[in-house]
Each structure stands twice: as C-alpha cells, then as structure tokens.
Amino acid sequence: MKPAVPRQPASPVAPTGRSRPAFPARLDTTTAQAVNKPGATAAAVTRRAAPAPARTPAASGVGMDSMAVRQAMVRKLQGQGIVHPGVLAAMRAIERHRFVDSALAGQAYEDTSLPIGLGQTISKPSVVARMLELLCQGREGRLGRVLDIGTGCGYQASVLSQLAQEVYSIERLRALHDKARDNLRPFRLANVHLLFGDGMLGFPQGAPYAGIVAAAGGNEVPQAWIEQLAVGGRLVAPAVTEAGQQHLIVIERSAHGITRSVLEPVLFVPLKSGVS
C-alpha cells in the first residue's frame, strides 16, 4: 500500500481538521438524491494514481517525446498572454500527446481541441492554461485541494497535479473514467484521485476546496460547487450568461460572501447530470 500524501497548508485556504476520504471510496448516493435532478444517479469508484511530481514515461528525446515540442507550445501560450510561471511549467511538464489517440498525436501540441470519444474533446492548450491561470492568479505556492469537474482523458487533472497539493477529478462517463485511469497510470501521480460519478454534485467528501475548475458548461454554475468552495477559494467554469452565450465565469468566496465575474466567451461541451 502506497503512503498517503502529507497534507500541507494550501495557498490562502487553510485545510480543515477533518480527515480526507479513504480510497477507494464511493460517492454518497443519499446526498446525490438530495441534490441531483430527479431520476439521476451517482456512483463512484476511485483509484489512486501514484506520486507527484509527474514521472513522465520513458522518452526518446525526439518527435512528440521531445521537450522542444512542449517548449514551443509554451512559447505560443506566452504569446497569447499566459504569464503564470507555475502554469507554464506544468504545461511544459505534461506530455499532451499521451492523452489523445495515436492517429491524432501529430496535432497534440497545436492549439486545438481534439476528439477523445463519446462526443467529448480534450480542450485547447490555451483554454486549459487560461483556466488554470485564473485558478492560480494572485496565489503563492501550490493550491490546496482542487476539484476537477469532467476528467475526460485526464490531461487537465495531470496538469493540475503540478499546481495543487491534491486533485479530485470526477467523470460521469465510465468509458472516459477508465481511459483517464489508463492514461494517468504511467505518470505515477499520488496526489490525483479519479472518481466516477455525477460531476454536477461535486464531491462533498473532499470539500472544502481551494479551487474548482470545470470542463463543461451549463445554464448556470451548480449550487453544489459553490457550497463546496472554501473561504478564499476560487471556481472557474463555463456557463451561459443572460445574453445566451457561454462565457468563462470566475466565482470567489470570501468571509463576506460570493463575488462573480464574467469573462471572455468560450465553447465547451454541455454539462450533464447523472452517470453513463
């Protein structure tokens, strides 16, 4: 059995005194029924990946395995205005081509979304970097616990592993949950916990969170996510605004309440409830 990752103070959010959930774990279906839409279910199976920082699989030093390819991607991100050093380092460290089908590997470091199956996509590098920069903005050191809604192929969770003490990543589609598990296994990330369940419910067993980030957008940000945000925490997610267009939304919780900012328009897959 692998040793647990030691808990350390997070950015501006102090960890609570209660213990972390044990793994493997199950989502509380009683809570699910109370929060979810009628007829939706929630079940979870978690796994422990293995230790951070990431151990990348053996690389040949050429082609897609070359650090030069990722460095070129990072230079493009800088040209698009990404400046956070931790985010840039994390994007440089994680090999994006290992999260897409081999037939698409040649496009892995282009600034484009790519299909990962079941009607889902891996987000553009610029979108991942932008959302994580918003999550980390103004904070020193690693974040504390972070909730990643919509694991997909596991790429964003792996990048988050370089920025947070602990990452809970939840996926509602079993086939993608399994794919992410297989993709992450070679990286040996002990601080990433993959969950199968209804992301609209969040994961209350791990709350409160220093950060929450979502890779799918609905008509509004679920109240469950806001309730699971720690004081000093920040939530970054797409949502449809009053104008009827999807935008990036940043929600911050302080001792005085909640503030909400609407940023640039984006296009994400729809946020759905239940599991499949």
pLDDT at position 140 is 86
In angstroms, the CA 176 to CA 84 distance is: 30
For 14-18, 54-58, 140-144, 250-254, which range has the lowest pLDDT when averaged over its residues? 14-18
Residue 52: pLDDT above 70? no
Question: How many angstroms separate the CA atoms of 3 and 5, rounded?
Answer: 6
Helices 125-136 and 85-93 meet at what angle, rounded to 10?
140
**Residue 73 token pair:** 């991607």
In a domain, 8, yes or no: no
Q: Cα(78)–Cα(92) distance, rounded to whole angstroms?
A: 12
Q: What is the CATH number of the domain that holds 219?
A: 3.40.50.150
Rounded to an integer, what distance in angstroms lies between the CA atom of residue 40 and that of residue 13? 32
Q: Residue 149 falls within a domain, yes or no? A: yes
Rounded to an integer, what distance in angstroms lies between the CA atom of residue 183 and that of residue 161? 14
- Give a yes or no: residue 14 inside a domain: no
| Prediction pTM value | 0.80
Residue 83 one-letter amino acid: V
Please report the pLDDT score of residue 25 as a whole number: 39
CB atoms within 10 A of CB 233: 28
pLDDT in tens, 202-260: 999 999 999 999 999 999 999 999 999 999 999 999 999 988 999 999 999 999 999 99
For the chain, state the CA radius of gyration.
17
Preceding omega of 12 cis (within 30 degrees of 0): no
What's the CA gap between 140 and 231, in Å, rounded? Answer: 16
In a domain, 18, yes or no: no
How many C-beta atoms surround the C-beta of residue 102 within 10 A? Answer: 9
The answer to whether residue 187 is domain-embedded is: yes
Query: Under a CB-based contact definition with an 8 Å cutoff, are residues 247 and 221 in contact?
Result: no
Task: Please give the residue range of the domain that contains residue 53.
Answer: 29-265
Q: Would you say residue 218 lies in a domain?
A: yes
In a domain, 89, yes or no: yes
Per-residue pLDDT of 137-157, as tens digits, reads 999 899 999 999 999 999 999
Task: Give how many domains the chain has, as a whole number.
Answer: 1
Distance CA 54, CA 184 (A): 10
* pLDDT score of 19: 53
Name the pLDDT band for 55 (thresholds 50, 70, 90). low
Write the CA distances from 179 to 147, 200, 246, integer angstroms: 19, 21, 28
pLDDT tens digit sequence for 145-201: 999 999 999 999 999 999 999 999 999 999 999 999 999 999 999 999 999 999 999
- Report which of residues 15 and 140 the model is more confident about: 140
Q: Are 204 and 258 in contact (CB under 8 A)?
A: no
Window from 18-27, 92-101, 118-127, 181-190 with minimum mean pLDDT: 18-27
Task: Kindly report the average pLDDT of the chain as a whole number.
Answer: 84
Backbone torsions φ then ψ of 196, nearest 5 degrees: -105, 120
Q: Which residues are catalytic?
A: 123
Q: Is residue 224 part of a domain?
A: yes
- Give the whole-number percent of the chain exceeding pLDDT 90: 75
pLDDT, residue 27, reads 42
Round to whole Å and give the CA distance between 166 and 127.
Answer: 22
Using pLDDT thresholds of 50, 70 and 90, give the confidence band for residue 66.
confident
**Percentage of residues of the chain with pLDDT beyond 70:** 77
Report how far residue 5's alpha carbon sits from residue 125's, in angstroms, rounded to the nearest whole number: 28
When comparing pLDDT for 118 and 26, which is higher? Answer: 118
If residue 146 lies in a helix (H) or strand (E), which one and from where to where? strand 143-149
